[in-house]
Structure 1
């Protein structure tokens, strides 16, 4: 029962490694091109990890803080606001990371950006985790959440939001600490885990072989014969 399970886990890790390589390749290809101007382009038509340039303004009335985000071992928040483009599109924009108060009793002060600005950013897909939510525990702003959910966040402000989320370039107005990671684990790590699972499967096969055959007896006899001859 455990042998096929270990093999399945090994091949699953190999498939995950291949998926991560595909994502990294997509990012490399799309970052090598010129940014897409959103003035004449629909966000819904763009592929994930596309670099964009946009002009608009921040919705400073609504602000979310994504909790439990780390940089260099420190806990903090990622700041998300709605960015309203000049062509009336609205999209969530992650401005980057701010450190949390050591006692975690106070939310960080978030400097606001007013007026019309031009930004550079990358379009990221939004993934959902069943144990996390974007509701927030209070109705006050800013709201502390644990994940991004475009539909839920749009409903909470009564506005229709474009799919995905923009992650701000560090050189753009309003950017905090960025250091975006497209994948949470590199392909090499998945490959290493796969080798561990395959190694356990091999060890299990060898132990099973010795336990269910006379190989152990033959091995002890061989060792005994070799010792006697010496």
Structure 2
């Protein structure tokens, strides 16, 4: 290690050779900064007059528009939450309720009301197996298959589409089902749960008597009779039971997550507030920039710098000190274009400034008298190994530099 005394600030071009030799480079050396770029719209304004410019009026309009959109989305999510809560209540009430006659739940062929969703109804009729259809691309527990729908001719002359269950697709060809259990022959008593007609998806009927959706109005074009077009039945029980092999579609009352929609309804207004907060922070930053020569603003800036300098160092800052040999002067309350600076640091283990004072009259700051700074330099030998990994040697003398 070497020893000596140096004063002043090293020039940027003199940094490279000392670094190569493992010698100290003063932390006060700074690279040239780019020329300042002035805002021709707001430059020269003082106070809050910049808020009257077209730019900042546009910023405020954008924040207001963003808030309106957020409130619209919040209201939509709240309405969705209410609808899901209502649907859950209807499903819970109807799923295991006592069955009612079908003409009581569906007084007209095309009638359907959301209050009868999942309602259990009973009917007596004969399955028309010749007009049976398959609903393709239906999944059960992740497996592809088909739903089997069969017209049930009721005793009063009307026809109800009954979804008898799910059958897996063939292992050899997933466009065809496995063997389909036959519907019971003769008169059968069924209990079904009502479900609304589905929106059409793709072509309603294709080769092989398959449909892409249970769209009753379209199915009615291929099934003769007075067909219920408002709702169909999801099979619950039937007597006689018929052949086994079909998987029930729904065995428990369905329940959607309404809490998710309510949480979104709360989050969107928060986003709206964040938009106004961002506008306010931007306006405050612009105010500070334009009023940097105001003594009162300088006093407030000095106070903020003083508070920043008293905060504990983060792990990232300590790592930067270890790698670079210094911390940014702004971290010690002596930057941001303010007059004055804190007393300098001791690199190589110091975590706080030994002595500093910032303040004084408005717009001024003075550095407290400080002892010459002690820098500990760890030399590196030709092999790249640290010569003093275990710490500085007992006979090593620290290099001293005086504060400028």
- Into which bin does the TM-score normalised by the smaller protein fall? 0.7 to 0.9
- For 1:115-154, list aligned pairs within 5 A: 115-128=186-199, 132-133=201-202, 135-138=204-207, 140-141=208-209, 143=210, 145-154=211-220
Distance 1:194 1:117, change over 3 A: same
The equivalent position to 1:43 in structure 2, one of 83, 99, 106, is 106
Aligned to 1:158: 224
**1:167 to 2:249 alignment:** no
Q: Distance in 2 between matches of 1:11 and 1:54?
A: 42
Q: Distance in 2 between matches of 1:77 and 1:91?
A: 19
Number of aligned residues: 222
Shift of residue 183, structure 1, vs aligned partner: 6.2
Please give the per-residue CA displacement for 1:77-108, whole angstroms capped at 9, x wherever unaligned: 22212111122221111122222235524233
Q: Distance in 2 between matches of 1:81 and 1:88?
A: 16
- For 1:1-230, list aligned pairs within 5 A: 1-31=65-95, 33-38=97-102, 41=104, 43-44=106-107, 47=113, 48-49=116-117, 50-102=119-171, 103-113=173-183, 114-128=185-199, 132-133=201-202, 135-138=204-207, 140-141=208-209, 143=210, 145-162=211-228, 163-169=230-236, 173=241, 176-179=247-250, 185-211=256-282, 213-214=283-284, 221=301, 224-229=305-310
Q: Secondary structure at the match of 2:272?
A: helix
Shift of residue 148, structure 1, vs aligned partner: 1.6
Distance 1:58 1:206, change over 3 A: farther
Shift of residue 19, structure 1, vs aligned partner: 1.0
Query: More deviation in 167-176 or 15-24?
Result: 167-176
Q: Secondary structure at the match of 2:81?
A: helix
Distance 1:26 1:149, change over 3 A: same
Shift of residue 199, structure 1, vs aligned partner: 4.4
Shift of residue 207, structure 1, vs aligned partner: 2.6
Shift of residue 66, structure 1, vs aligned partner: 2.1
Give the alignment's TM-score, normalised by structure 2.
Answer: 0.48
Structure 1 residue runs of 5 or longer lacking an equivalent are none
Q: Distance in 2 between matches of 1:68 and 1:192?
A: 33
Choose 1 or 2 for highest CA Rg: 2
Q: What RMSD, in angstroms, separates the aligned Cα atoms of the two structures?
A: 3.2
Give the alignment's TM-score, normalised by structure 1.
Answer: 0.79
Q: Distance in 2 between matches of 1:64 and 1:108?
A: 14
Please give the per-residue CA displacement for 1:161-209, whole angstroms capped at 9, x wherever unaligned: 1121111116773563222687684322322443444444343343333
Please give the per-residue CA displacement for 1:31-59, whole angstroms capped at 9, x wherever unaligned: 46421134x65733575232111111211
Q: Do 2:146 and 2:169's aligned partners in 1 also have CA atoms closer than 8 Å?
A: yes
Q: Secondary structure at the match of 1:82?
A: strand
Structure 2 residue runs of 5 or longer lacking an equivalent are 1-64, 289-299, 312-404
Give the number of the structure whose residues are more often helix, by fraction: 1
Q: Distance in 1 between matches of 2:235 and 2:276?
A: 51
Distance 1:42 1:177, change over 3 A: closer
Shift of residue 152, structure 1, vs aligned partner: 0.9
Give the number of the structure whose residues are more often strand, by fraction: 1
Q: Which has the higher contact order (CA 8 A, sep 6+)?
A: 1
